[in-house]
Structure 1
C-alpha cells in the first residue's frame, strides 16, 4: 500500500520535512501584496567623472508602496496635483486666464 503524498509546499514544510516558520508566498500576487504592504525602497547614484572631475550626478530614489501605506508615511503629493486629483477644470481656467493676460500684455507693448 502506498500512502498519498502531500507536497512539502502545501503542507507548510521545507524540503527536509520540518515545518517552516513563516508561510511562503504562493505566487506573484502574494509577493506583490507583501511589497505594497511593507514597502520597498530602491536607491542609487549615477556619477559621470572625467579625470576626477565630476560632470554629472543623477540620484535615483524609488519607493514602491500602496496608497494607504504612503499616506501613513505622510506622502500624499498626488492629492494636490491638478492632473491627478481631477481638478482639470481649474487648470483649464488658469491656462485661459494666463493666455488672456499674455494677449493683453502683447497688445499694450506693440
Structure 2
C-alpha cells in the first residue's frame, strides 16, 4: 500500500501487480538472458541450426558483464569509425610511399640505361 506523496518501491513484493515501468527498470538493472536453439532436420539429417541468445540490460550492466561490442562497431560508434579511418589512412600512406619508392627506383634504373648508351 502506498501513501500519498510517496512513490512505491518497484522491488517491493507486497503481492501487487507491477507496472511496465517497474518491470523494465528491474530488467535493465539486473539484466535478463533469453536463449534458444532452432534446428531444422530432414529425415534425421541436420540441415540448419540457429542459436539465439538475447541479453536485455542497461549499457552500464552490459559493460559490467564485459559486453561492449558497440564501442568497436564503426556503424554504431563515432570513435570506432575514426579509428577505422585512421587505420585505413595509415595503410594508404604506406602504400603510396611504397609506390613512390618503386617509381623512384624505376626512374633511376632508366636514367642509368640512358647514360650508358
TM (norm. structure 2) is 0.56
CA distance in 2, matches of 1:40, 1:46: 20
Judge conservation of contact 1:25–1:31 (CA < 8 Å) in 2: no
Q: Deviations over 1:23-42 (max 9, x none)?
A: 55641111100000111111
Q: Structure 1 residue aligned with 2:24, among 32, 36, 46?
A: 32
Q: How many residues align?
A: 84
Shift of 1:22: 2.0
Q: Which protein shows a greater Rg?
A: 2
User: Which runs of no fewer than 5 residues in structure 1 stay unpaired?
Assistant: 1-10, 13-20, 102-110
Give unmatched runs, 5+ long, in structure 2. 3-11, 96-117
SS in 2 for 1:82: coil
Shift of 1:84: 1.3
What is the correspondence of 1:20-59 to structure 2 with a 5 Å cutoff? 22-23=13-14, 24=16, 26-59=18-51
More helix, by proportion:
2
Structure-2 residue corresponding to 1:76: 68
The list of structure 1 runs, each at least 4 consecutive aligned residues, that deviate by more than 3 angstroms after superposition, is 23-26, 87-98
Task: Output the aligned Cα RMSD.
Answer: 2.7
What TM-score, normalized to structure 1?
0.60
